[in-house]
């Protein structure tokens, strides 16, 4: 399964985007501010991950106490997940999913996450690889 995250707005303090599953729009996304890591320093918890393609693994999260989708081998980052949340304060570099409520907030985040997780879990059960490309 291929996920594609197209970042649509790079603002001071946050980044918005649209997440596609196999080229079909699933939801909106919210991340911390995108920074050019070759020219500026990463700010812990306030920096979006670099553009690229990453493998997704479903693993137990100590924070959420359940299986969550983790992005693997993200340069300069660890523990990056896709999860629910409504504002940039709900992420420390992870990708939040939901319906767009305002330019910097999401709504229906848990419902959206559950819908995405259903797809991801079925793919993993079928033994298929999952990747996400962030543009």
For 102, the token pair is 């305002």
The count of structural domains within the chain is 1
Range of the domain at 33: 2-134
> For residue 134, what are the β-bridge partners?
5, 52
Per DSSP bridges, beta strands 95-102 and 105-107 are: antiparallel
pTM score above 0.75: yes
Contact 101, 27 (CB under 8 A): no
Tens of pLDDT along the chain (135 residues)? Answer: 999 999 999 999 999 999 999 999 999 999 999 998 888 889 989 999 999 999 999 999 999 999 999 999 999 899 999 999 999 999 999 999 999 888 899 999 999 999 999 999 999 999 999 999 999
Give the distance from CA 108 to its chain's centroid: 15
């Amino acid at each position: 399964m291929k996920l594609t995250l197209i970042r649509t707005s790079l603002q001071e303090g946050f980044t918005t985007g649209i997440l596609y599953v196999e080229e079909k729009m699933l939801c909106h996304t919210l991340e911390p501010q995108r920074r050019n890591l070759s020219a500026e320093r990463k700010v812990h918890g306030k920096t979006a991950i670099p553009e690229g393609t990453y493998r997704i693994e479903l693993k137990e999260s100590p924070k959420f106490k359940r299986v969550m989708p983790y992005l693997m081998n993200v340069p300069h980052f660890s523990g990056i997940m896709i999860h629910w949340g409504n504002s940039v304060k709900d992420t420390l570099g992870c990708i939040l999913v939901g319906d767009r409520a305002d330019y910097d907030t999401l709504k229906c985040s848990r419902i959206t996450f559950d819908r995405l997780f259903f797809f991801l879990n079925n793919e993993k059960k079928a033994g298929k690889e999952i990747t996400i490309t962030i543009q």
